[in-house]
């Protein structure tokens, strides 16, 4: 068992504070996101599931934009270009499969913004 309260918070880009944990086959990030914060467009080989815990977030996947709110879940396919914007303060739990090896050494702006190649 792991405890989110014992994981150090990281600030990879303005408005995003995340805590990362890994299982054998998945990675998880618990985000606290400030209203107005922007997630730059990027893609990765990992399938991603976005679970809205609190707040409202505008998520664009490819050419489709959706407004997500508390309790909603969105799946982002592998290699899909995606971006977003926090419409309010948000708490989001992201799950990735397979493991985000690039997150093992910490969340960085280069990884989050899509600058790192996998």
pLDDT tens-digit map of 42-83: 999 999 999 999 999 999 999 999 999 999 999 999 999 999
Name the more confident of 100 and 115: 100
- Looking at residue 65, what is its pLDDT? 98
- Token look-up 């600058």 returns 115
Distances (CA, A) of 99 to 3, 5, 25, 26: 19, 21, 5, 4
Asked whether the predicted pLDDT for residue 32 surpasses 70, the reply is yes
Residue 114 in this model has a pLDDT that exceeds 60: no
């Amino acid at each position: 068992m792991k405890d989110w309260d014992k994981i150090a918070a990281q600030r990879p880009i303005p408005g995003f504070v995340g805590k990362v944990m890994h299982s054998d086959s998945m990675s998880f990030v618990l985000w606290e996101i400030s209203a107005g914060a922007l997630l730059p467009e990027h893609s990765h080989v990992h399938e991603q599931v976005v679970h809205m815990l609190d707040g409202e977030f505008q998520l664009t996947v490819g050419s489709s934009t959706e407004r997500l709110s508390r309790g909603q879940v969105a799946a982002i396919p592998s290699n899909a270009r995606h971006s977003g914007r926090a419409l309010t303060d948000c708490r989001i739990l992201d799950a990735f499969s397979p493991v985000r090896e690039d997150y093992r050494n910490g969340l960085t702006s280069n990884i989050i913004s899509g600058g790192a190649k996998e």
